[in-house]
Amino acid sequence: MKRSLIALLVLLIAAAICGCTQNKVQNKGVSTGKTVVIIGDGATFPQPQINAWISAYMKLHPNVKIEYNGGGSGKGQADFAAGIVDFAGSDPPLKKSLWERLVNHPPAEGKNPLQFPDIIGAVVVCYNVPGVNSLKLDGQTLANIFMGKIKYWDNESIKALNPGVKLPHKEIVVIHRSDASGTTDIFTTYLSLVSPEWNSTVGAGKVVNWPVDRMGRGVGGKGNQGVVAELKSTPYSICYTELSYALKENLKMVALKNRAGNYVMANSTTIKAAAQHISSYIAPPYAGYKENLRQLLNAPGNDSYPIVAFSHLLIWKNYSDPVKGKAVHNFIKWILTQGQNDKYIVSGYVGLPKSITQRVLSEAGI
């Protein structure tokens, strides 16, 4: 009995060791052989789009294998800085301190970081108010709703913007992200731009202290999925989320008043219009930290949607493994050229205007 027990144990350990070494051999075979493996991590917002690019690109280039894990912008940045991944997706541009660390103390895997936008989305305001199918809001009113100053849907200031809409006398439930999120950063930065009071009392950031929470009318949802789930199950609620989620879940979206004074819904026309007007504020790839979110929001132009969101990619200009470096650069070049064609763009995202991609490619020098 005892002997068989020991024999079994030895066998198990041997099997485990064999399994480990085998894995190692396999991994080595991959990186030195014909197939190049590229691994990325980061923002979840562009994940459906990046995955679509990856599958299209791998079909065209069977010897390249690309993986992208949506671990969040923060994790993408950290993993990229540690050399764990070959490229990273990040919604917010990098902070100056991290950028300088990447420039001065890069990991062994690469040096000279490059950051550039790869896709545009939009943050939209969605609502679940039974019986109301169109809603217009301006920035100040929106800020007042999210600050909790406007308590009921039939508040005078909402009524004034929506003549003819029958608004119910129900309390507004505000749903926001509970996790640190680039979406929150973009949305609160927009509110700070359009409402001085929001700017001074709440401010902007990936996490903010929501005044409505203290009034019991605010709830947080984890991720866009969590927010959308709560909106759908809570009548008389309002939330902000990414356009792609709103489209996928068929949510009712608010038409927002833009800087020119027109009410616009988020769609490819209005997002592209905004991008055109702010393209000059997109920082060059070799100085990515210079990008300022405030300049990208509330864009001028008659048709511009006010809350556009650029998602960014991070790569190295020089990889210590030249084969991998070439593969990454080719993939990125493809994303910024053919990849921007409508047939590769997933619903809810908008391709970058050519003026931006051409400039980025020439400035990156890859």
Among 33, 216, 300, 365, binds another protein (CB under 8 A): 216
Among 2, 59, 105, 166, binds another protein (CB under 8 A): 2
Among 210, 240, 305, 349, binds another protein (CB under 8 A): 210
What is the nearest approach in angstroms of another protein to the Cβ of residue 128?
12
Residue 4 within binding range of another protein, rule CB under 8 A: no
Residue 214 within binding range of another protein, rule CB under 8 A: yes
Residue 37 within binding range of another protein, rule CB under 8 A: no
Measured CA to CA, the distance from residue 228 to residue 233 in angstroms comes to 9
What is the nearest approach in angstroms of another protein to the Cβ of residue 78?
4
What is the nearest approach in angstroms of another protein to the Cβ of residue 205?
6
Tell me if residue 119 falls in helix, strand or coil.
Answer: strand
Residue 234 within binding range of another protein, rule CB under 8 A: yes
φ, ψ for residue 72, nearest 5 deg: 105, 150
Please name every residue paired with 137 in a beta bridge, in sequence order, or none if there are none.
Answer: 256
Residue 74 within binding range of another protein, rule CB under 8 A: yes
What is the nearest approach in angstroms of another protein to the Cβ of residue 110?
19
CB 145 within 8 A of CB 211: no
Please name every residue paired with 42 in a beta bridge, in sequence order, or none if there are none.
Answer: 89
How big is the site for another protein, counted in residues (CB under 8 A)?
38
Considering only residues 165 through 204, tell me which ones interact with another protein, judged by CB under 8 A.
171, 173, 178-181
Residue 357 within binding range of another protein, rule CB under 8 A: no
Residue 113 within binding range of another protein, rule CB under 8 A: no
Phi-psi map region of 272: left, alpha, beta (phi>0 left; psi -120 to 50 alpha): alpha
Q: Would you tell me how many other CB atoms lie within 10 Å of the CB of residue 158?
A: 21
Residue 115 within binding range of another protein, rule CB under 8 A: no
Query: Which residue, 120 or 174, is less far from another protein as judged by CB?
Result: 174
Considering only residues 6 through 25, tell me which ones interact with another protein, judged by CB under 8 A.
6
CB 91 within 8 A of CB 308: no
Residue 84 within binding range of another protein, rule CB under 8 A: no
Please name every residue paired with 350 in a beta bridge, in sequence order, or none if there are none.
Answer: 120
Q: Which among 27-35, 193-201, 215-223, 319-327 is the span making contact with another protein, rule CB under 8 A?
A: 215-223
Among 24, 28, 95, 294, binds another protein (CB under 8 A): 95
Helices (H), the chain: 2-32, 47-60, 73-81, 96-104, 139-147, 156-161, 182-194, 196-201, 211-214, 223-233, 243-248, 268-278, 293-296, 322-336, 354-364
> Kind of pairing, strands 64-69 and 36-42?
parallel
Residue 363 within binding range of another protein, rule CB under 8 A: no
Query: Which residue, 181 or 268, is less far from another protein as judged by CB?
Result: 181
The pair of three-digit structure tokens given for residue 95, joined into one six-digit string = 């902070």
Among 218, 285, 301, 339, binds another protein (CB under 8 A): 218
Q: Would you tell me how many other CB atoms lie within 10 Å of the CB of residue 362?
A: 11
Measured CA to CA, the distance from residue 10 to residue 18 in angstroms comes to 12
Measured CA to CA, the distance from residue 276 to residue 18 in angstroms comes to 57
Among 77, 141, 268, 304, binds another protein (CB under 8 A): 77
179's CB contacts (< 8 A; 6+ apart) are: 72, 207, 222, 223
Query: Which residue, 88 or 352, is less far from another protein as judged by CB?
Result: 88
φ, ψ for residue 171, nearest 5 deg: -70, 140
Residue 230 within binding range of another protein, rule CB under 8 A: yes
Query: Which residue, 41 or 303, is less far from another protein as judged by CB?
Result: 41
What is the nearest approach in angstroms of another protein to the Cβ of residue 318?
24
Residues at the contact surface with another protein, assessed by CB under 8 A: 2-3, 6, 71-75, 77-78, 95, 171, 173, 178-181, 205-207, 209-210, 213-214, 216-222, 226, 229-230, 232-234, 237
